[in-house]
Structure 1
Amino acid sequence: MAKLLYITANPKTDISRSKGAQIGEVFLEEFKKVQPDVEIEHMHLYSMDIPEIDMDLLYGRAKLSFMGYTKDQLSEGERSKLEKMHALADCFINADYYVFVTPIWNLGAPAILKSFMDCMFLHGKTFTNTAEGPKGLLTGRKAIHIQTRGGIYSTGMMVDYEMGDRYLGTALKFLGFDVMETVYAEGLDHFPKQIPEIMAAAKEKAAEAAREMAKTPVTL
């Protein structure tokens, strides 16, 4: 049975009412039409205890990576935070398909998404170094980003300022993912009267992307 990890980064208490979630639900419904037995796990980042990179994690990772320390020689704070980071990464790795649903805030993604992705960069587990450079170890998996945007970032003067989708796609590709074209709904703040049309178009694209992803076998 395939597993799909559905990751949302929105602080709204009733996340189902967010526009991103509405598009995401269309994606999931269409995906299940093709793969009705898929197991779907939802990670709502704002309800999770995600460790942020601080002094404990900086020193703990360095000690184990190249300073010759063993796990038993770490401080309690270093050890507990590294264990939490690895546990989160283990949950993340254990899937075939990945759907990220985020807004764009101040040119980028919510900070909690960066903290989450920081936990996925673990040498020997999600990537390794080779003579040709770093190599992602999470190959064979497929991922897609669904992003809502208040402004217009696909064309015009703001193209170079969009760093949320650009960051996520780059990070996932670094780790070895096959990343599909982003589905976005943009201009939601600039053109409030056109929101129904904008949302309808995004939902249609999400449905198409879901069918494409679901029809693609994953071999890990």
Structure 2
Amino acid sequence: MAKLLYITVNPKNDIKLSKGMQLGEAFLEEFKQQKPDVEIEHMHLYDMDIPQIDMDLLYARAKLSFMGKTFDELTEGEQKQITAMHALADRFIAADYYVFVTPIWNFGSPAILKAFLDNLFIVNKTFVNTHEGAKGLLTNRKALHIQTRGGIYSTGPMAEFEFGDRFLTKVLGFLGMEVMPTVFAEGMDHFPKQVPEIMAKAKEQVIEAAREMAKETVTV
């Protein structure tokens, strides 16, 4: 059975409080109609214990990757951190479809998303190094980013300051995924009276994105 991994990145773990999650739910409803047999797993990052790149994890990766050490030669702390890292990466790799729902904060995504993504850069598991450069191994997977924005970042003077969507989609592409065009609802802080219209337009776009994602059957 195919699996969709639905990843929400907002401390507001309540659909009534999060416009991004409202858009995410609209996506899921349409996707389930199009592919009722697909399993959906929800990861709410603020409810998870995500391994951080601390001293133990930093040294564990170095020892295993180029220092010639084995897992048994790691310290207890290093073993714990590297095991947790691979477990999280394995959960991620097990999916076929991915939907990320994030806000933009101070030009980027919440820091917890960066911590999560740090666990996915594992050589020979999610990418390999070749003579032509790094090559992602998470192929035949489709991903979508749904982003909410208080300001306007698609055009104008703030466009060059948008690093949240840019970073996430580059990471997913690096890992080998087919990344769909991002759906964003922007300007909601700048134009509060227009929020219903902004959300309605974004909802139409996520529904169309769900239909597009469901068109092709991906095989991992």
Partner of 1:21: 21
Secondary structure of 2:145's partner? strand
One-letter code aligned to 1:119:
N
Give the Cα–Cα distance (whole angstroms) in 1 for the partners of residues 156 and 142 of structure 2: 30
One-letter code aligned to 1:177:
M
1:216 Cα shift? 1.4
Counterparts of 1:179-190 in structure 2, within 5 Å, are 179-190=179-190
**Are 1:99 and 2:93 an aligned pair?**
no
Partner of 1:44: 44
1:33 Cα shift? 1.2
One-letter code aligned to 1:35:
K
1:2 Cα shift? 1.4
Partner of 2:34: 34
Cα-to-partner distance string for 1:21-67 (whole Å, 9 max, x where unaligned): 00001101111111011110000000000011111111110000000
Give the Cα–Cα distance (whole angstroms) in 2 for the partners of residues 166 and 154 of structure 1: 11
One-letter code aligned to 2:178:
D
**Are 1:82 and 2:82 an aligned pair?**
yes
Partner of 2:118: 118
One-letter code aligned to 1:61:
R
Residues matched between the structures, number: 220
Partner of 1:146: 146
Partner of 2:127: 127
Secondary structure of 1:122's partner? coil
Cα-to-partner distance string for 1:110-140 (whole Å, 9 max, x where unaligned): 0000000000000110001011110000000
1:172 Cα shift? 0.4
Give the Cα–Cα distance (whole angstroms) in 2 for the partners of residues 132 and 153 of structure 1: 34
Partner of 1:136: 136
TM-score after normalising by structure 1: 0.98
One-letter code aligned to 1:117:
L
One-letter code aligned to 1:120:
L
Cα-to-partner distance string for 1:127-165 (whole Å, 9 max, x where unaligned): 010111100000000000000000000000011100000
**What percentage of aligned pairs have identical amino acids?**
72
Partner of 1:197: 197
Give the Cα–Cα distance (whole angstroms) in 2 for the partners of residues 193 and 172 of structure 1: 35
Which ranges of structure 1 fall in alignment gaps of 5 or more residues? none
Give the Cα–Cα distance (whole angstroms) in 2 for the partners of residues 4 and 68 of structure 1: 37
Cα-to-partner distance string for 1:185-219 (whole Å, 9 max, x where unaligned): 00010000000000000000000000000111102
Give the Cα–Cα distance (whole angstroms) in 2 for the partners of residues 103 and 137 of structure 1: 28
TM-score after normalising by structure 2: 0.98
Which ranges of structure 2 fall in alignment gaps of 5 or more residues? none
CA RMSD of aligned residues (A): 0.8
Higher alpha-carbon deviation: 204-213 or 4-13: 4-13
Partner of 2:54: 54
Partner of 1:6: 6
Give the Cα–Cα distance (whole angstroms) in 2 for the partners of residues 218 and 166 of structure 1: 24
Give the Cα–Cα distance (whole angstroms) in 2 for the partners of residues 202 and 15 of structure 1: 16
Structure 1 residues 16 and 177, CA, compared in 2 at 3 Å: closer, same or farther?
farther
Partner of 1:171: 171
Structure 1's consecutive aligned runs of 4 or more residues displaced over 6 angstroms after TM superposition are none
Higher alpha-carbon deviation: 72-81 or 8-17: 8-17
